[in-house]
Structure 1
Amino acid sequence: MQHLGSLALTLAGTFSALAALAHLACIAIGAPAYRVMGAGERMARAAELGQWQPTVVTLGIAACLGVWALFAFSGAGWGPRLPLAKWGLVLITGIYLARGFAYPVIQPLFPGNSTTFWVISSGICLLIGTTHLVGVWTSWRDL
């Protein structure tokens, strides 16, 4: 089972790293990328105006996703074991799954984001969360 857990956590880490890179691409490309990613017209307009908020928010999300990728890779055995890796991975798994399932509750808080954004991003979060869950569940003793 360790092989499955390592594979799942490697895949989960890759998903998180790709999500982080997608967020960084929004910063580099600007308003058109914010629109394509469904971040909402308010974020896109703020980026067009050169305001700092879209960059800071997006950098924060990218950094968080990058750290989460590192935790998954650590749990998979790639590099040194991070402190509290087991419990960090449990928390990360829970956040991804909660974000995926909770979109009907949190969607009204962000009225500028499209329904397409919520459906696709929630599906991605469920996929990544489930991949983490498989990895954590099958690697539990080794984490």
Structure 2
Amino acid sequence: MDSANNKYLLAAAMCCFAVAFAHFGCIVFGGDWYRFFGAGEQMARMAEEGLWYPTIITAVIVLVLLVWGLYGLSGAGAIKRLPLTKLALIVITSIFLLRGVSFVGLMPMFPENSLTFWLISSGICLFIGGLFAVGTWQQWSVLGDKNA
């Protein structure tokens, strides 16, 4: 399947890159960005104090999202096939969808995050997970076992 035919994986990849960019903005611009995106006052204060924790956690999220975006492009055929593309797309889809529906159970673990944060971020995860799910389903026969 030509990459132009799988707009879902291309859109999922672009969403991953956009979300990675927003997270990177938190690292660069600090506490105000953490607050704006609803990460909690504690994360914002730690960022303002120059503590490493918010930067490390956010950098890991940025890297994961960038890799996931690359797998989306790979699955769509827009870039060279990456190792284990089929498996990666299934795992990425599952993680996004699981994160989107499990926020109620996660909320007590992060009490400083606002309800708005949880609702918006969960909606975004469900949306991106849906893009990955449909795009992966479209590509299933193209990926085949040799690329699993």
The TM-score normalised by the length of structure 2 is 0.93
Deviation at 1:79, TM superposition (A): 1.3
Deviation at 1:8, TM superposition (A): 0.4
Equivalent residue number for residue 90 of structure 2: 90
Q: Contact 1:2–1:139 (CA<8 Å) still a contact in 2?
A: no
Equivalent residue number for residue 14 of structure 1: 14
Deviation at 1:138, TM superposition (A): 1.2
Aligned-partner Cα distance in 2 for 1:136–1:92: 10
Deviation at 1:2, TM superposition (A): 6.4
Aligned-partner Cα distance in 1 for 2:142–2:11: 17
Aligned-partner Cα distance in 2 for 1:101–1:4: 30
Q: How many residues align?
A: 143
- Aligned-pair Cα RMSD in Å: 1.3
Equivalent residue number for residue 42 of structure 1: 42
For structure 2, the 5+ residue unaligned runs are 144-148
Q: Contact 1:5–1:134 (CA<8 Å) still a contact in 2?
A: no
Aligned-partner Cα distance in 2 for 1:4–1:42: 44
Instruction: Note closer, same or farther for the CA distance 1:136–1:2 as it changes in structure 2 (3 Å cut).
Output: farther
Q: Contact 1:4–1:138 (CA<8 Å) still a contact in 2?
A: no
Q: Contact 2:26–2:34 (CA<8 Å) still a contact in 1?
A: yes
For structure 1, the 5+ residue unaligned runs are none
Aligned-partner Cα distance in 2 for 1:60–1:39: 15
Equivalent residue number for residue 108 of structure 2: 108
Q: Contact 2:72–2:89 (CA<8 Å) still a contact in 1?
A: yes
Aligned-partner Cα distance in 2 for 1:65–1:127: 15
Q: Contact 2:13–2:72 (CA<8 Å) still a contact in 1?
A: yes
Task: Give the % identical residues.
Answer: 48
